[in-house]
Structure 1
Amino acid sequence: MSLPALTEEELSESFQKEAETSKAWPFEEARKIVKRYAKGDYPQGGVLFETGYGPSGLPHIGTFGEVARTSMVRHAFRVLTGDQVPTHLICFSDDLDGMRKVPDNVPSPDALAPHLQKPLTDVPDPFCSEHDSFGAHNNAKLRSFLDQFGFEYEFASATDFYKSGRFDDVLREAARQYRKIMDVMLPTLGEERQATYSPFLPIDPKTGRVLYVPMKHVDAEAGTITFDDGEGEELTLQITGGNVKLQWKPDFGMRWAALGVDFEMFGKDHQTNAAIYDKICRILGGRAPEHFVYELFLDDKGEKISKSKGNGISIDEWLTYAPTESLALYMFSKPRTAKRLHFDVIPRAVDEYYQFLAAYSRQDIKQRLANPVYHIHAGHVPQVEMPIAFSMLLNLVSASNAENRDVMWGFISSYAPGTSAETHPDLDRLVGFALRYYEDFVKPAKSFRAPDTIEREALEQLRTSLRTQPSDADGAALQDAALDVARGIERYQDHNKKSPSGGPGVSVAFFQMLYEVLLGQERGPRFGSFVALYGTERTAALIDQALAGKLADA
């Protein structure tokens, strides 16, 4: 895969001038890299972006978010420099790390217990796939999704880099600078940990386990370390060739120095360690990269999402119910704000994506640069007509009990003549997502209630009003009809609001009642638009069912 060329608009002088002052966060980050090389002395191989991946559990959305967001900064940098500077994105897997605990969300977890503390690429694959290790399996899951989304990246494995000798020179430098590294690390540790700490982690040649043991001697000239293994036997190992890896904090800085990384983003949980990574990078002769710290994702209970717990939404789960563009929008929006990541956020993300997409063609350059779809699509923004919102499709499924696309398209083609699955493939894709989302999340939670006396009166009036509406009444007219009913019932009058005629406005309690009684849920779409899509007679019949007690008894 190759990066798409910049568009003619992006290469224009006016566009680049606006980009230089754009407040969109990818441009703010990209300008840091431009400033880093203010003299124009870019590396011969180009600017290097990196993302890190810990394959101790199955890939989750946070991992994807790093690559998506970094790619957005990379594209912004290309715009600022007129695509005159080569760029590379490395997705680096820390798969030589020892498996500290068995993940909760794998089959037959007991079978992995004997392999604790072994590098992840030496742990058998619990999924019994074609991969030869747990680390390789999880790496493949990550690459599969990144490829599906169309990212351009270079995958890198810590196991490969350590064993192939790619890190040998910087490891030898780490041995020469051993005391300086210890001087950085020891003040950050407790007294007990200080006594046993070493930046070098030997891999036991007998057991294959990563050992957390103190060093008895570090011979910088010979490039060796001496230590006692788990059985108390003194061993000396070469620090090169994959015999030894670095502790994770020194490893961060070492990797930056070895590869010449210019930009890396990481979660807030790394923020306190960023100064340590920078110091070690400089000790090893490198230049610390530019940073971007993002907030962590939370689950529906407000707890941090964990790969090993599997308490968030997986990549595959999101894509079961929504298009990838909606996930990219979720990653773009407010990256420095902690956000809950659970299934309820999906419908809003889908609708917001298509709202931003619809607005793009009407915007000027400054507005386009701030529009998320510009960054999601790397400047190549598609033109898509979406006549019906995803949330509306969900409510259509709910009211109609539709079980397949054909039933849904019967409603849609009546609402928007000339619209079909062939002419609107994006809408057809959303229909499929809506059917799955409704079946798995909306339907199990539906809870209809019976109307009380006043609510019955309101529903009866609404039913009569709907049946007297002209056949071509649009959503706005039908919404007005519902509002007229509500204004005539004291319970639903809101004296803090004013109607167009100067009387009281309508309380949101009226529409909440409609959703609870007719749809079995607390929230719903704009009611008039829903009636226009579902049909006035069908909606009136739905009210009949509610008044007869058939919905609440279902």
Structure 2
Amino acid sequence: MTITPETLIAAAQSSKAWPFQEAQRLAKRMPKGKPGGVLFETGYGPSGLPHIGTFQEVLRTTLVRRAYEALTGGAPTRLVAFSDDMDGLRKVPDNVPNRDMLAQHLGKPLSRIPDPFEKFESFAAHNNAMLRDFLDRFGFEYEFVSSSECYNGGKFDTALKGVLSNFQAILDIMLPTLGEERRQTYSPVMPVSPTTGAVLQVPIEVVDAEAGLIRFTDEDGAIVEQSALGGMAKCQWKVDWAMRWVALGVDYEMYGKDLTDSGIQSGKIARVLGGHKPEGLIYELFLDGEGEKISKSKGNGLSIEDWLQYGSEESLGYYIFANPRSAKQLHGGVIPKAVDDYWQFRAALPGQELDKQLGNPVWHLLRANESHAGANAPGSGDTLPVPFSLLLNLVGVLGVGATREAVWSYLGNYVTNADPAAHPALDALVDKALAYNRDFVAPTLAKRAPSGGEVGALQALDAALADADPAISAEDLQTIVYEIGKQPEFGFDNLRNWFKALYETLLGSEQGPRMGSFIALYGIAPTRALIAEALAKA
């Protein structure tokens, strides 16, 4: 199927996939883009280390960016990863060394605090380097922008003068949203103390907006008159967000549901400053297995490192892709299905009509990382010879002592040219299946003894396998299993109960794979040994 820019644009204009829905809204505002490129932004607070929230926000924003490029026939775009490293350190993180040293710098901008890891010139520089390494690891295309560099280098000076010129109008927006106590100390602009270097939460008086001159009471009680420009002040969060939109010319930024109110107030402030609120999507937050909001301090939920230990990078992208306006549980139990679903969508992609391709998550994910060779023409390497769920069943039967060599020896029953080098994607998943089985599956497995008609059914299955051709296909094996379950003398009300009995007696789990596929993968003789082991308990 030949896809021209014209056919792609036409399909993109009517696509219901959420990245295209976002791109369509953005294109209504700027159908032909703008000089220098339409600017997409993601924000990051470097008081902590990059995490799965950082990944999902950059990924989702990139998906919209690529959709916009397709929709507009290649209008230029940019993505800025913005670090708010001018923010004052509010508390000492638990997961860093030299905590006593950091405690001495509370309130100071993160970019003016020594690095507790003793590797960089500041704490912010350390965390910014980690952020960039993190984004580079996943192949994102972005420009890194530092809040401190913008403030210190004067890039925000013009916008900051705008804040001072519209000081009262901004107060009129913000004060009604604050409690009585907070109103007493609130100021849209926070000065940096000339004596301690801390970012101060004190009222200020605008002396000369155009000159950037302000007056305030320092921590020692002295009245100070100084410039707010050149890094001698920073804006409060919601004002800072709005000023950044205006100063950088941000056209699109998404954010979490917990920042909904911030987005409303910042949008109003942006209009006061002569700009506008960017287009954007408000996404739902991740939940843990109990449905509770994931918290870095609680440590509930999965980290990026956890997911990549048990599942692939592509499966994480696939899981995050689905409707961002719906909350998602993030725990180990969702990984196997995400892996298999990704590969099902990937296998379907080459044969789909263009409109279906644009609704396929894999179409978007392959374009999120520009380093994917041939991303515009998926074809080779688009199938996984063994589903991850089936691989997990094999590893589960082999037990926690299984090795990757043992797994590959069984894969030879099912996979043509069962060489890890010939199937790199499957080979990578073998290690992840071994880890997943060790940490999630093995502790829960408990094979029960067969009872009642289950005994006769297992005996019949064993006899049928004894007579089967060693080269029998997985489909024919599945038919044998079906036919035994249908026989009335065994008393199964439906085939579901028969398969449930197979899973619980042979595999030790309430759920399992297509038994024909499992038998073909595991082998007829080893499967008969499982049956004999189960019958010995009856």
Is the TM value for this pair above 0.5? yes
Give the equivalent residue in structure 2 for 1:390: 388
Taking structure 1 as reference, are residues 295 and 518 closer, same or farther at Cα in structure 2, changes over 3 Å only?
same
Q: 2:76 aligned to 39, 61, 86, which one?
A: 86
Residue pair 2:453, 2:491 contacting (<8 A) in 1 also: no
Partner secondary structure for residue 138 of structure 1: helix
Alpha-carbon contact 2:454-2:490 (below 8 Å) kept: no
Distance 2:179 2:353 in 1: 56
Counterpart in the other structure of 1:373: 362
User: Which residue identity lines up with residue 534 of structure 2 in the other structure?
Assistant: A
1:327-406 equivalences under 5 Å are 327-378=316-367, 380=376, 382-383=378-379, 384=381, 385-401=383-399, 403-406=402-405
1:511 aligned residue: 499
Aligned pairs for 1:514-529 (under 5 A) are: 514-529=502-517
Residue 293 (structure 2) pairs with residue 304 (structure 1):
yes
Give the equivalent residue in structure 1 for 2:87.
97
Report Cα offsets for 1:514-544 as digits up to 9, x if no partner.
3233223332222221111111211111222
The structural deviation recorded for 1:209 is: 2.6
1:183 alignment partner in structure 2: 172
Paired amino acid for 1:17: A
> For 1:130-169, what aligned pairs fall within 5 Å after superposition?
130-169=119-158
1:547 aligns with 2:535: yes
CA contact (8 A) 1:10 1:16 kept: no
Post-superposition offset of 1:258: 0.2
In structure 2, the CA distance between the partners of 1:546 and 1:123, relative to structure 1 (3 Å rule), is farther
Point out the more displaced range, 309-318 or 63-72: 309-318
Deviations 1:129-188 (A, max 9, x none): 623433333322222121122111001111221111111111111111111111111111
- Going from structure 1 to structure 2, the CA distance change for 1:251 and 1:477 (only over 3 Å counts) comes to same
State the alpha-carbon separation in 1 of the partners of residues 115 and 532 from structure 2.
57
Task: Tell me: CA distance 1:204–1:511, structure 2 relative to 1, closer, same or farther (3 Å).
Answer: farther
Cα contact 1:90–1:153 (8 A) shared by 2: yes
* Equivalent position of 2:423 in the other structure: 424
TM-score normalised by length of structure 1: 0.89
Equivalent position SS for 2:281: strand
Equivalent residue number for residue 52 of structure 1: 43
Letter in structure 2 aligned against 1:33:
L
Letter in 1 for 2:37: G
Q: Is the 8 A contact 1:298 1:339 kept in 2?
A: yes
CA displacement at 1:359 relative to structure 2? 0.2
After TM superposition, the structure 1 = structure 2 runs for residues 205-284 of structure 1, keeping only pairs within 5 Å, are 205-284=194-273
Q: 1:442 to 1:103 in 2, by over 3 A?
A: farther
CA contact 1:263–1:291 (8 Å) conserved in 2: yes
Following superposition of structure 1 onto structure 2, how do residues 405-554 of structure 1 map, counting pairs within 5 Å? 405-488=404-487, 493-494=492-493, 505-506=494-495, 508-549=496-537
| RMSD, aligned α-carbons | 2.4
From the superposition, tell whether residues 308 and 206 of structure 1 become closer, same or farther in structure 2 (CA, over 3 Å): farther
* C-alpha deviation, 1:255, in angstroms: 0.4
SS in 1 for 2:163: helix
3-state DSSP of counterpart to 1:204: coil
What TM-score do the two structures reach when normalised by structure 2?
0.92
Structure 2 vs 1, CA of residues 298 and 179 (structure 1 numbering), >3 Å: closer, same or farther?
same
Deviation per CA, 1:306-338, whole angstroms, max 9, x where unpaired? 344443322222222222111111121111110
In the alignment, the residues of structure 2 paired with residue 382 and residue 106 of structure 1 have an alpha-carbon distance, to the nearest angstrom, of 43
Counterpart selection for 2:309 from 309, 314, 320: 320
Residue in 2 that maps onto 1:295: 284
Instruction: Please state how far the C-alpha of 1:394 moved relative to its aligned partner.
Output: 1.1
The corresponding residue for 1:119 is 109
Shift of 1:355: 0.4
Give the secondary structure class of the aligned counterpart of 1:414.
coil
Q: CA 1:516 to 1:233, structure 2 compared with 1: closer, same or farther past 3 Å?
A: farther
Q: How far does residue 20 in structure 1 lie from its aligned partner after superposition?
A: 1.1
Percent same amino acid among aligned pairs?
51
Letter in 1 for 2:254: M
1:205 is displaced (CA, Å) by: 3.2
CA shift in 2, pair 1:125/1:179, >3 Å: same
Q: Distance in 2 between matches of 1:36 and 1:222?
A: 34
Q: Residue 90 of structure 1 aligns to a residue in which SS? A: strand
| Paired AA for residue 151 in structure 2 | Y
Pair 1:34-2:27 in alignment? yes
Q: Distance in 2 between matches of 1:449 and 1:116?
A: 59
CA distance, structure 1, for counterparts of residue 447 and residue 108 of structure 2:
54
In the alignment, which residue of structure 2 is the partner of 1:76? 67
Distance 1:338 1:153 in 2: 27
Amino acid at match of 1:477: D
Residue aligning to 2:371:
none
Deviates more, 1:180-189 or 1:206-215: 206-215
* CA distance 1:530–1:273, change in 2 (3 Å): same
Counterpart secondary structure, 1:466: helix
Read off the aligned partner of 1:90 and give its amino acid letter: V
Whole-angstrom CA distance in 2 between matches of 1:108 and 1:343: 33
Q: Which runs of 5+ in 1 are unaligned?
A: 1-7, 495-504
Q: Which runs of 5+ in 2 are unaligned?
A: 368-374
- Bigger Cα displacement from structure 2, 451-460 vs 401-410: 451-460
Task: Assess if the C-alpha contact under 8 Å between 1:104 and 1:310 holds in 2.
Answer: no
Task: Quote the Cα distance in structure 1 between the aligned partners of 2:314 and 2:356.
Answer: 19
Give 2:186's aligned residue. 197
1:389-444 per-residue CA deviation (whole Å, 9 max, x = no partner) reads: 01111111111236332211111122123232222211112222212222232223
Cα pair 1:59 1:315 within 8 Å, conserved = no
CA displacement at 1:492 relative to structure 2:
5.7
The answer as to whether partners of 2:267 and 2:277 remain within 8 angstroms in 1 is: yes
- Any conservation in 1 of the 2:40–2:65 contact (CA below 8 Å)? yes
Give the AA of the match of 1:31. Q
Once residues 515 and 303 of structure 2 are traced to their aligned partners in structure 1, the CA distance between those partners, rounded to angstroms, is 33
Letter in 2 for 1:96: M
CA gap 1:436/1:257 in 2 versus in 1, 3 angstroms: same
Deviates more, 1:355-364 or 1:376-385: 376-385
CA distance in 2, matches of 1:459, 1:218: 89
State the Cα distance separating 1:220 from its structure 2 match: 1.4
Paired positions, count:
528
Distance change in 2, residues 1:115/1:395 (3 Å): farther
Q: What is the CA–CA distance in structure 2 between the aligned matches of 1:131 and 1:489, rounded to whole Å?
A: 74
